[in-house]
Amino acid sequence: MSETFAIPQVKQVQVKQAQPNLQFLRVIPGILLLAAIGYAGKLLEQNVGKYAKFHHWIFPNIEYVLWAILLGLAISNTVGVPAIFRAGVATYEFWLKVGIVLLGARFLLGDVLKLGGVSLALVAIEITGAIAFMTLLGRLFHLKPKLTTLLAVGSAVCGVSAIIATQGAIDADEEDSSFAIAAILALGALALFTFPLIGHALHLSDHAYGLWAGLAVDNTAEASAAGALYSDAAGKLAVLAKTTRNAMIGFVVLAYAIYWAGRGQAKTVKNKAAFLWQKFPKFVLGFLLISVLATYHFFSKDQVTALANLSRWAFLLTFAGVGLRTNFREMRKQGLRPFAVGAIGEVVIAVFTLGLVIGAQKIWGW
């Protein structure tokens, strides 16, 4: 059962999408599972610390984010996720986007423009550097050119969805897409555990760490989780930086589509504006709109608090889903070379973006 969860799961959901009426019912068990795991994570955060303190044990304070991910990982990698829950578990990305849009209420427009402007500059440097490096690495390891393109887009822009969007645009093989997705997901899972440790070891501020997580971790769910594992403030900034990166997806995919069409290996893009709109993540607009409304006091202070709490609940379901959909056995099956290229690339990008953030930190004095 566990073997089906990383990539084949997507195919199952696609089939279910064809029956919208039934799909609504099919997602309920999985959503309840996400909620149960997320809530269990929250209870563990509250009670394990108290229990350890009561018994005079030295036990680190583990946040609900990590508990939810660990519980999900434990289920996914032991008993597996039963079929009845899979369609609902796959909605964790829907909750992620709901959470991001609602998070907009916690950002005033001025902050978004200021932080987004800094993020945008750093994102532009990160994307350029990451694509150049991954392309070079793919050539060194003799990967297929389109697989190299998928890995480059996945690590430079926004993980799995960028890979899927690019796969369609450049007519890449499904197999290449699966390789690239597996590499990005595996490395995202590793980042969840390594990034907070590195951040604490380097005594990064919440601001610097959040930006770094948003710039270096590829998949939005993992980037949000890696940020939230550090602190609430870091989580907010990680989402903002990652959202800025996501906004670039259309441009990068369009550039690659034109490149491969020029080589006669992909369809020509006829309407570039329509292509950009189609690929543009709409939740970025939702996030900005909520931020504008909050800035102009459309919501009272209590209402902003309620929206922020609702955003946390949505993220809670997301973090449970991150653990549940990560299956290490399935990832291992995808092969070593693309993973090695991805891993080397990710380490270099992580170091590169860390340097960028530390440099920016010195300039802006966060």
Partner 1 sequence: MTTTDATLDKKSEKSSPKKISWDTWAVLAAFVAALLIRFGVVKHIPW
Q: Does 97 bind partner 1 (CB under 8 A)?
A: yes
Sign of the C-alpha dihedral computed for residues 30, 31, 36 and 37 taken in this order: positive
State whether residue 51 is helix, strand or coil. Answer: helix
Query: Which residue number, 18 or 58, has a Cβ lying nearer to partner 1?
Result: 18
Kindly state the smallest distance separating residue 270's Cβ from partner 1, in Å.
Answer: 14
Kindly state the smallest distance separating residue 29's Cβ from partner 1, in Å.
Answer: 16
Q: Does 252 bind partner 1 (CB under 8 A)?
A: no
Q: Does 285 bind partner 1 (CB under 8 A)?
A: yes
Q: Say if residues 290 and 101 touch (Cβ distance below 8 Å).
A: yes
Kindly state the smallest distance separating residue 203's Cβ from partner 1, in Å.
Answer: 28
Work out which of 69, 151, 152, 160 binds partner 1, going by CB under 8 A: 160
Q: Does 363 bind partner 1 (CB under 8 A)?
A: no
Kindly state the smallest distance separating residue 176's Cβ from partner 1, in Å.
Answer: 15
DSSP string, 240-296: HHHHHHHTTHHHHHHHHHHHHHHTTSS---S-HHHHHHHHS-HHHHHHHHHHHHHHT
Q: Does 26 bind partner 1 (CB under 8 A)?
A: no
Work out which of 28, 113, 261, 306 binds partner 1, going by CB under 8 A: 306
Count of chain residues binding partner 1 (CB under 8 A): 52
Q: Say if residues 323 and 138 touch (Cβ distance below 8 Å).
A: no
Contacts of partner 1 in 116-155 (CB under 8 A): none
Q: Does 168 bind partner 1 (CB under 8 A)?
A: yes
DSSP string, 317-356: HHHHHHHHH--HHHHHHT-SHHHHHHHHHHHHHHHHHHHH
Contacts of partner 1 in 210-239 (CB under 8 A): 219-221
Q: Does 161 bind partner 1 (CB under 8 A)?
A: yes
Place of tokens 């959901």: 13
Sign of the C-alpha dihedral computed for residues 5, 6, 8 and 12 taken in this order: positive
Q: Say if residues 224 and 239 touch (Cβ distance below 8 Å).
A: yes
Query: Which residue number, 190 or 348, has a Cβ lying nearer to partner 1?
Result: 190
**How many CB atoms are closer than 10 A to CB 360?**
20
Identity of residue 302: D
Query: Which residue number, 71 or 102, has a Cβ lying nearer to partner 1?
Result: 102
Q: Does 269 bind partner 1 (CB under 8 A)?
A: no
From the list 299, 292, 295, 312, the residue with the least C-alpha distance to 68 is 312
Kindly state the smallest distance separating residue 46's Cβ from partner 1, in Å.
Answer: 12
Per DSSP, which regions of the chain are E strands? none
Burial bucket for residue 310 (CB in 10 Å: 0-12, 13-18, 19+): middle
Query: Which residue number, 230 or 283, has a Cβ lying nearer to partner 1?
Result: 283
Q: Does 282 bind partner 1 (CB under 8 A)?
A: yes
Query: Which residue number, 181 or 349, has a Cβ lying nearer to partner 1?
Result: 181
Q: Which residues in this chain contact partner 1 in the complex, by CB under 8 A?
A: 9-10, 13-14, 17-18, 90-91, 93-98, 101-102, 105, 158-162, 164-165, 168, 181, 219-221, 246, 249, 278, 281-283, 285-286, 289-290, 293, 298-299, 302-303, 305-307, 309-310, 312-313, 325
